[in-house]
């Protein structure tokens, strides 16, 4: 497992700050359809809609040693 995943739950979904991991990204993209996720390159953060937030959080917990809710 790698480093730390920071997640912030908001009214429109969940936001993830994670270190780059190609396997994590493949899993996230496989579990969360494109219309329900978005990468923001300016702040280097993923957004996932409420509909898939629980799955994305499970994915995060399976790839990162620490998951911190902000």
Closest CA to 15 of 44, 24, 66: 44
Number of domains in the chain: 1
**What is the distance between the alpha carbons of residues 14 and 65, in angstroms, rounded to a whole number?**
19
pTM exceeding the 0.75 threshold for the entire prediction: yes
How many CA atoms lie less than 13 Å away from 45 in the CB half-sphere?
13
Q: How far apart are CA 32 and CA 50, in angstroms?
A: 11
Which structural domain, as residue segments, surrounds residue 40?
2-69
Q: What is the pLDDT along the chain (70 residues), one digit of tens a residue?
A: 468 999 999 989 999 999 899 999 999 999 999 999 999 999 999 999 999 999 999 999 999 999 999 9
Whole-number pLDDT of residue 44: 92
Per-residue confidence (pLDDT) for residue 2, from 0 to 100: 60
Q: What is the pLDDT of residue 26?
A: 97
């Amino acid at each position: 497992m790698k480093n730390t995943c920071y997640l912030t739950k908001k009214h429109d979904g969940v936001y993830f700050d994670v270190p780059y991991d190609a396997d994590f990204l493949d899993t996230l993209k496989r579990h969360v359809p494109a219309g329900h996720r978005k990468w923001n390159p300016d702040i280097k953060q993923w957004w996932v809609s409420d509909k898939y937030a629980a799955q994305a959080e499970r994915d995060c917990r399976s790839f990162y040693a620490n998951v911190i809710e902000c």
